[in-house]
Structure 1
Amino acid sequence: MFSLDWIYYAISWILLTWHSAWDAIGVSVDAVIGTNWAWILSIIFLVVTVRVILFPVFVKQIKSQRAMQALQPKVKELQEKHKGDRETLQKEMMELYRKEKANPLMGCLPMFLQIPVFLGLFHTLKRLNPDNQGKTLYGWTVEQFNSASNAKLFSAPISGKFGSTAAEMAALGANLTTVKIVAGVLVCIMIATTYLTSRQMILKTGWAEDPQQRMVQRLMLYGIPFSLLISGAIFPIGVIIYWVTNNLFTLGQQQWVLRKFPPLVPPKKTSTAGKTTAQPVKTGGLLGRKTVQPAAKAPAAAPKVAGPKPGAKPVNPKKSGGRPAKRQG
């Protein structure tokens, strides 16, 4: 059977390395405002470590999304050409992606690569309970294990969950109501930041024309945040801290990368007369979007009438027009 111990050892090593670093620079392991900051910072910088390692993959994800966006006109042509023939359409689209070296799955790759880290941290924090105290854990010493087991965020143990029972929290010396409040607030922040990370990318790059890509976008935007509303109750507080920190890191990283690699500008629409017509431009922000109407052209100025040159004789309009015709008697 395939063992995941190597993931647990890797996650434990990163956590303990950061904990030793914070301890060495004087971050106290004792609770301040009901929080053991050395362990909280260790979880936060676990995120930083993983994201720095995955940064090249994230850049490839952005470039792949740009390539997919550039192929949208060709994808639309194939959809119209093979309308009603789904099998041929899929074959032609795969051939197009292969020829243009675009990978539709690259957009989800960074998230998939972080799943082992999430599972490793989830499994490790689940082991932090009084029943396992006095034991070693994936390279931890007994002292480190006992210290992490009693680590808290605002008096709520980092191994506690929204769905914890009163008996479980009593064993950790914690109040169940406090744990539910801290965990509940963190779950709400986790859902909101998960939604915003997907929305930020869609607002910048637009909805995909390909139905499969659009379905993936909708899943990322609505499906995952909704699933967290249910599954968040079983996540330890330490795991939720990891998730929220990861989302905040993603928001900042996406903002930077999207500025460095701006989305492709769609071509302007043309009228039937062949003249380019200005279209409203939709600009997306993090929390909303607004439509900017194109600036109206200023009305053409009336042609100026040239005045007489300096020194020229005034012109009599009656003379210049010739003699008037005689009236017939």
Structure 2
Amino acid sequence: MDIFSIILWPIKWAIELILVAFHALWDAVGLHPDSGVTWVLSIVGLVLVVRAALIPLFVRQIKSQRKMLEVAPQLKKIQDKYRGKRDQFSREAMSRETMELYRRHGTSPFSSCLPLLIQMPIFFGLFSVLNDAQHDKAGVGLLTRDLADSFANAELFGAPLRGTFINEFNLWTAGQGFNGAVMGIAAAMVVLMTASQFYTQLQIMAKNMSPEAKNSPMFRQQKILLYILPLVFAVSGVAFPLGVMFYWLTSNIWTAVQQSIVIRNMPTPGSEAAKAREARLAKKGKLNLEAQTAAESPSAVATKRPAGQRQQPVSKNRAKKSGSKS
């Protein structure tokens, strides 16, 4: 067993546990155990469990993204400061100042990628589980050979969940028998996966970025990713089994809905979403109340103290004298 298989073993075991548990649930409800609908609903259940468990990481990701947007103008100043300077001393100084900026604000350009990085082993684990089932192999845990065979051969509109677009396309070009349902469903899934990924990234850039952030280098990088990531899905999706594609599409839909809720209720200050939220609050008469609550918070009170003024500690004797005089 190679190191990759050792890393995936506990992930595959957990995936099989969730899949089999949901499969048993739908079977108890009355759905046919070998139906594609039953296994697709089990995959949807897997997504709900995984993404619900990742909500704390998503909240952390949102906070990190906000901090990155806040430091974007300062980061641009550092880059402008060392623009055109290619000597080693300047590069090291720029790197030190950049890392110090990230440290002061408690953020990192890599922290926003954490939920995606954690999902990738789950994605590969599900791919491995379905690939083993495709070759009539039992899983590492509760997915027996019979269940694996049921999973791989379960059909949805005549398309087995183990089928891939590229395999059927190769059969078609070779003049052999192919399953057009697999190609049709897979093509539709690739389009939906690509569109959902594009929409999720677009709503962040269009609605949840301040004008300063849109003028930063980070915005230009995200604009490039806006088109690259969906392209990656479109190219690689043709090789995914339908079962894996259902997982990825459901996860993308979860992300889009979750992102919409966050942008609506906790937008980045100064963004279009923040202005829309203020307009909604003003219409309901809640804007002044929210501003008053924020002004009365401990952090707001602390900021009212003039810059450079430090509250002097009062000794017990001085406190007693002050009390006796009054």
TM-score, normalised on structure 1?
0.72
Write out the 4+ residue segments of structure 1 that deviate beyond 6 Å after TM superposition. 166-169, 281-285
Aligned with 1:24 (options 1, 5, 28): 28
User: Does residue 186 in structure 1 map to residue 186 in structure 2?
Assistant: no
Bigger helix fraction:
2
User: Does residue 152 in structure 1 map to residue 158 in structure 2?
Assistant: no
| Number of residues of Structure 1 aligned to a counterpart in Structure 2 | 259
One-letter amino acid matched to 1:152: E
CA distance in structure 2 between the partners assigned to 1:12 and 1:282 by the alignment: 40
2:232 aligns with: 227
1:116 aligns with: 121
CA distance in structure 1 between the partners assigned to 2:239 and 2:189 by the alignment: 13
Cα 1:60–1:238, aligned 2, differ >3 Å: closer, same or farther?
A: same
Cα 1:142–1:76, aligned 2, differ >3 Å: closer, same or farther?
A: closer
**Contact 1:69–1:264, Cα closer than 8 Å, also in 2:** no
1:94 aligns with: 99
Q: CA deviation at 1:204?
A: 2.4
CA distance in structure 1 between the partners assigned to 2:78 and 2:14 by the alignment: 46
Q: CA deviation at 1:255?
A: 1.0
| CA displacement, residues 282-312 of structure 1 (integer Å, 9 cap, x when unaligned) | 9999xxxxxxxxxxxxxxxxxxxxxxxxxxx
CA distance in structure 1 between the partners assigned to 2:275 and 2:256 by the alignment: 14
After TM superposition, the structure 1 = structure 2 runs for residues 243-258 of structure 1, keeping only pairs within 5 Å, are 243-258=248-263
Cα 1:219–1:159, aligned 2, differ >3 Å: closer, same or farther?
A: farther
| CA displacement, residues 271-292 of structure 1 (integer Å, 9 cap, x when unaligned) | xxxxxxxxxx79999xxxxxxx
Cα 1:147–1:284, aligned 2, differ >3 Å: closer, same or farther?
A: farther
1:138 aligns with: 140
**Contact 2:207–2:273, Cα closer than 8 Å, also in 1:** no
Secondary structure of the 1:13 match is helix
One-letter amino acid matched to 1:25: V
2:304 aligns with: none
CA distance in structure 2 between the partners assigned to 1:190 and 1:113 by the alignment: 19
After TM superposition, the structure 1 = structure 2 runs for residues 259-270 of structure 1, keeping only pairs within 5 Å, are 259-265=264-270
1:203 aligns with: 206
Cα 1:243–1:282, aligned 2, differ >3 Å: closer, same or farther?
A: closer
One-letter amino acid matched to 1:6: P
Name structure 1 gaps, 5 residues minimum: 267-280, 286-329
The RMSD of aligned alpha carbons is 2.6
CA distance in structure 2 between the partners assigned to 1:62 and 1:203 by the alignment: 16
2:280 aligns with: none
- Larger Rg over CA atoms: 1
Q: CA deviation at 1:28?
A: 2.7
User: Once the two structures are aligned, what percentage of the paired residues are identical?
Assistant: 36
**Contact 1:69–1:208, Cα closer than 8 Å, also in 2:** no
Name structure 2 gaps, 5 residues minimum: 277-326
One-letter amino acid matched to 1:138: V
Cα 1:220–1:22, aligned 2, differ >3 Å: closer, same or farther?
A: farther
CA distance in structure 2 between the partners assigned to 1:194 and 1:159 by the alignment: 23
